């Protein structure tokens, strides 16, 4: 399989664009003429099954006589193909890949907003040379804790790893103590004097999903691992959460019932070399807030900027993700800087501090600001709401406040003037319509 081609860089750009939108497999044909690979040689598929079926159809329908040179058909995961094309065309040296791979992934993790704790976790797992691994982290949110899982996969052709996606899940369950985990304990066949089968989980939602599929008598518990008198590690049960028997759930504690039955709020974000939504942005979106992107591309490859928000009231896509609402900047008309000027926010008068607040809002964060209420200074959290071209105010305990309480005098006068002008226009339109009716 010869991957040398003068069009390598163009092909690489095309493959990376396919990865950006979540496509996983590429198919290509090497014809009987000795033409180099180019962009038109490729087709793309979401799944292994679809790519394999296309490969079979092409292979079986090929009617080239056996005594002539046969065309060759291939399909492969895009991340593996990218690496092989780069090696074949001298764009990366194979002996340098291990070190470069670690450096590149470290930089990608930083671009995604992750720190030394997660980077160290990644390095430790890379040393184990596993075919794939996950890096877990938790982010405190205003509605719970966001469990984040980053997925790393090793190439089939080398020991290089790739980070193409991560998942965020809003965890509203009661937070566990240090060292505690969820566990599903399943009874083995009767007559065996052995401990139940145990599977441990860090996420309550993963534990619940597994528990609901178990047919045998099982318990969902919270526990921690400890060494018994015989020197063996075993699970110490701290709390029973649910019981299951004969394929049915027969008991769920009152405190865990909401977590057990509510639909999971989660989202998978695809990234390419650290580009895409950061982990902080994704965490804020899964809590229902909007974030700002200035590096988006439309179908035609043209750059644009927009505020983005998950549509949690609509249907999910075929991958189980929420659809995305976009409010393009400046077309939609939401100017966050001008909106802030409409409220008595202490730092707005300082351009540097105002930009810092805007940067926080664009990440989807809720920065703490100082405003006045009844001539007293109060601290409130601020949130951008681009859909309504506004900002919302929240107490530190999360309780919302009416934004009208914090409007500047000038903004109140502007609103009154706009309302009066609107009313006059409506009166004129009504009078005109009435006059036309009389004329008829």
Pseudo-torsion of CA 196, 202, 204, 207, nearest 10°?
A: -40
Looking up tokens 């509510």 gives: 262
Contact between 391 and 404 (Cβ < 8 Å): no
Specify the DSSP element, H or E, that contains 59.
helix 48-61
CA distance 142 to 170: 10
Q: List CB contacts of 265: < 8 A, sequence separation 6 or more.
A: 169, 170, 286, 312
Looking up tokens 């730092």 gives: 347
Sheet architecture: strand order including 25-30? 42-45, 25-30, 72-77
Contact between 238 and 223 (Cβ < 8 Å): yes
CA distance 359 to 340: 13
Q: How far is CA 146 from CA 113, 227, 281, 359, in A?
A: 14, 31, 11, 21
Sign of CA dihedral 417, 420, 424, 425: positive
CA distance 262 to 47: 30
Per-residue pLDDT 10s for the chain (440 aa) are 578 888 888 999 899 888 888 888 999 887 655 678 888 889 999 888 888 888 888 877 655 554 445 578 888 888 888 878 887 887 765 455 577 899 999 999 999 999 999 999 998 888 888 889 999 999 999 999 999 999 999 888 778 899 999 999 999 888 888 889 999 999 876 655 667 889 999 889 999 999 999 988 999 999 998 887 777 788 899 999 999 999 999 999 999 999 999 989 999 999 988 899 999 999 999 999 999 999 998 888 899 999 999 999 999 998 899 999 999 999 999 999 999 999 999 989 999 999 999 999 999 999 999 999 988 999 999 999 999 999 999 999 999 999 999 999 999 999 899 888 888 887 777 777 776 665 54
User: Using CB atoms within 10 A of its CB, is residue 273 exposed (0-12), middle (13-18) or buried (19+)?
Assistant: middle
CA distance 265 to 321: 10
DSSP state letters, 304-355:
EEEEEEEEEEEEE-TTSPEEEEEEEETTT---HHHHHTTB-BGGGGSHHHHH
Q: List CB contacts of 236: < 8 A, sequence separation 6 or more.
A: 223, 224, 225, 226
pLDDT tens digits, 293-308: 999 988 888 999 999 9
pTM of the model: 0.71
Determine the angle formed by the axes of helices 8-20 and 78-88, rounding to 10 degrees: 160
Coil, helix or strand at residue 268: strand
Q: List CB contacts of 63: < 8 A, sequence separation 6 or more.
A: none
Sheet architecture: strand order including 145-154? 132-140, 145-154, 161-171, 266-270
Contact between 73 and 29 (Cβ < 8 Å): yes
* Beta pairing partners, 378: 371
């Amino acid at each position: 399989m010869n991957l040398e081609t003068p069009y390598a860089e163009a092909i690489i750009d095309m493959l990376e664009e396919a990865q950006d939108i979540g496509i996983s497999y590429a198919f290509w044909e090497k014809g009987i003429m000795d033409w180099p690979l180019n962009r038109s040689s490729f087709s793309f598929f979401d799944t292994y099954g679809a790519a394999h079926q296309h490969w079979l159809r092409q292979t079986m329908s090929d009617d080239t006589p056996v005594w002539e040179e046969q065309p060759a058909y291939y399909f492969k995961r895009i991340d593996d193909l990218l690496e092989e094309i780069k090696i074949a065309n001298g764009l990366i040296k194979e002996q340098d890949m291990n070190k470069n791979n670690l450096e590149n992934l470290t930089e990608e993790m930083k671009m995604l907003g992750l720190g030394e704790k997660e980077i160290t976790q990644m390095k430790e797992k890379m040393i184990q040379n596993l075919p794939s691994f996950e890096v877990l982290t938790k982010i405190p949110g205003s509605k719970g804790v966001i469990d984040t899982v980053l997925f790393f996969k090793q190439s089939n052709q080398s020991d290089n790893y790739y980070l193409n996606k991560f998942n965020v899940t809003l965890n509203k369950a009661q937070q566990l103590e240090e060292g505690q985990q969820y566990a599903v304990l399943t009874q083995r066949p009767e007559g065996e004097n052995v401990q139940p089968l145990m599977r441990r989980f860090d996420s309550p939602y993963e534990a619940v999903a597994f528990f609901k599929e178990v047919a045998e008598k099982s318990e969902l518990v919270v526990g921690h691992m400890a060494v018994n008198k015989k020197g063996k590690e075993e699970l110490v049960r701290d709390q029973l959460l649910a019981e299951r028997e004969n394929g049915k759930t027969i008991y769920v504690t009152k405190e865990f019932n909401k977590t057990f039955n509510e639909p999971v709020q989660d989202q998978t974000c695809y990234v390419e070399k650290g580009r895409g939504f950061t982990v902080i942005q994704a965490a804020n979106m899964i809590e229902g807030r909007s974030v700002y992107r200035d590096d988006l591309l439309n179908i035609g490859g043209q750059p644009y900027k927009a505020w983005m928000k998950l549509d949690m009231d609509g249907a999910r896509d075929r991958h189980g993700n929420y659809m995305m609402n976009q409010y393009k900047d400046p077309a939609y008309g939401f100017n966050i800087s001008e909106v802030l000027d409409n409220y008595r926010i202490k730092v707005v008068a300082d351009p540097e501090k105002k930009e810092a607040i805007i940067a926080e809002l664009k990440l989807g964060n809720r920065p703490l600001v100082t405003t006045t209420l009844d001539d007293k200074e109060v601290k409130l959290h601020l949130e951008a709401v681009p859909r309504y071209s506004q900002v919302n105010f929240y107490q530190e305990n999360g309780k919302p406040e009416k934004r009208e309480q914090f409007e500047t005098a000038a903004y109140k006068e502007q609103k009154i003037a706009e309302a009066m002008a609107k009313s006059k226009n409506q009166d004129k339109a009504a009078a005109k319509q009435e006059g036309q009716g009389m004329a008829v």
